[in-house]
Structures are given as C-alpha cells and as structure tokens.
Amino acid sequence: MIQLRGVEIAGTGHYLPEKILTNEYFEKIVDTTDEWITSRTGMKKRHVVVEGENNSDIAVKAAQNALDMAGLKAQDIDMILFATVTPDMVFPATACLVQNKLGCRTIPALDFEVACSGFVYGLSMGYNFIASGAYNTILVIGSEVLTRITDYTDRNTCVLFGDGAGAVILRPSEKNKILGYHLGSDGGEAKILYQPAGGSAMLASHETVDRHDHSIRMAGQEVFRIAVNRMIEGLDTACKNAGLTPSDLDFIIPHQANTRIMQAVRKFAKLNPEQLIVTIEEHANTSSSTIPIALDMSVRSGKIKRGNLIGITAFGGGLTWGGAVFEF
C-alpha cells in the first residue's frame, strides 16, 4: 500500500486589475440602482482588465505573490493546475503561457474548466498529486476575465461579474493539512448557467455575435436555489470526510457569488457572522478565483492565521460543485 504524504498550503496570492467599475456605472447603462445591486448581491465594485491585459497576465501576478509568501522561486514549481473558463485562447492551455511567463522549468501545465468550482477541484487534484509522491510543489491557480464574456445589455447578469486571479502553492508536509474534500457534477442542468457559443458546437458567426451568444447566460432563480443546496452539501460532506462537523471550523470561505447564498451556508454550519469570509463587495463574482482571492485577502489582513481550520465550498456551471477542509 502506498503511504500518502502530508500536504499543506505553503503560500497564497491574488491580483485584481486596476480598472474598477462601481455600481454607479451600471446605473448609467442599464435599469438598476446601487441599492438594488447591493441588497441582492452584496457587490459594490468589480475589477476589469484593460486592452492588452489578458488572463495569463493577471494569473502570473497572483502566482508570483503566492511564490513570494512561500519563499520559493518559479524554478521550484513541479506542476501548474489552472482553473478557468476564460482562457487566453482555446489552445494552447493558458497554464502553458503562465509556465513560460513565470520562467518555470518545462513542467506539466494544464487548464481545466469547471467554472466557479474550479479552485476546489484544483486543490483536490493538487493534494492527490503531492500525497501520492508524484510531485512536490504545485501551483494551483483560479483566474478569470469574465468581463470579456459579459453581456452589458443584460441587466440581470452584467452587474455580477469581474476579473481577478488567485493562487496557492501546495507542498509536502510532515502533518497533513488538506483534511477532506467532496466533488460533484450534474450535466443535466447545464443550460441554466452556460456560454452558448465559442466551442465546436456553435462556431462564431455574425449571428452568434449579434445574439450575444458568446456571453454568459444564467437562469438566476434556478441557480440560486440549487447553489444553496449544493454548496451546503459540498461543505458538509467535505467535513464528514475529514472527520469533522462544520461547527468545528474557524472560518468558511464560500464562493463569492451572492451574500444571501453565503449567509445560508453559514447558518447551516452554525457559525457566527464573523466566521464567514466575505470579500464580494471588493471584486464581485470572479468565478474560479473568488475563493483563493478571499483566502489571500484574509491571510494578508491577519484574519486567517496558521493553524486555523478553513472550510471552502463552491458551485458553478456544469453544473459542478465541491467543498474542501484544510488547516492553514
């Protein structure tokens, strides 16, 4: 039997583009108000890449911040796992572009596409690669430029999305600190949250552009209902797999999509309001990167400290969902 090694998060990092769109901007272009957006989502602003700034660029900045915290160099990385639904191009993988821009060795680097659940999936995969002894140092990135697939004529979705990148460095540890995880999917509900065009099933044309088929489509009420249940499932099952209950956690970091969803998860976990990490007002929904962004913000502010037990949970297009528990 293979003896599994311990794994820990050695460093965290994030990056948000400098350009900002506030709620007041959306008051000018669609029928909405700051009060409506804030009360229903918790969002105040979202960061936006500018022309010439791509997903790989912001991912590299988040990765470098994580490397610096871990006291490592790009040459120390053995593998890159990159979660995104907004790659620089269909191929090559954006992870390969990051490998080159960071100055890594010729290591394995791959993209995977599970939308907002991406970081939970990436953490789980990275854990297994290191625990099995296959690799020693893995860079896990969640990075998105969702504003480039947002329809700014759709008042129901255009206020929700922003751009940003988050990253962690995983390393072997004498004590295992990645304690449990749970992953799931349901392709039968794919079309309540998806991007119709851009893949091989619907190629780009004048018609697809005119119909905004290259933008995010979302059935908001259905997504809200399923997200609450699946994010609770992800957290609860991950805790059970770790031999814990949600009330054992010091903090939870849900995917930052909506404050009402996050509060529902907190109440299920029977945690105090201050144990819920909420950063959504700073960056809105950045899909796969919200959890690592929120984690890094909380670590650098001193709220999350070494030894804290953290639960994360997410839900996204696919449908996909997942949860994980770790000691920071």
Catalytic residue numbers read: 116, 255, 285
Tell me the chain's radius of gyration from C-alpha atoms: 19
Best CA proximity match to 310, nearest among 251, 263, 242: 251
> Which residues have C-beta within 8 Å of that of residue 93, sequence separation ≥ 6?
82, 87, 109, 110, 111
- What DSSP designation does 161 have? B
The tokens for 149 are 């697939």
> In angstroms, rounded to a whole number, what is the distance separating the alpha carbons of residues 328 and 306?
5
Residue 202 is classified by DSSP as S
Query: What spatial distance separates the first Cα and last Cα of the chain, rounded to whole Å?
Result: 28
Q: What's the length of the chain?
A: 328
Count CB-CB contacts under 10 A for residue 272: 8
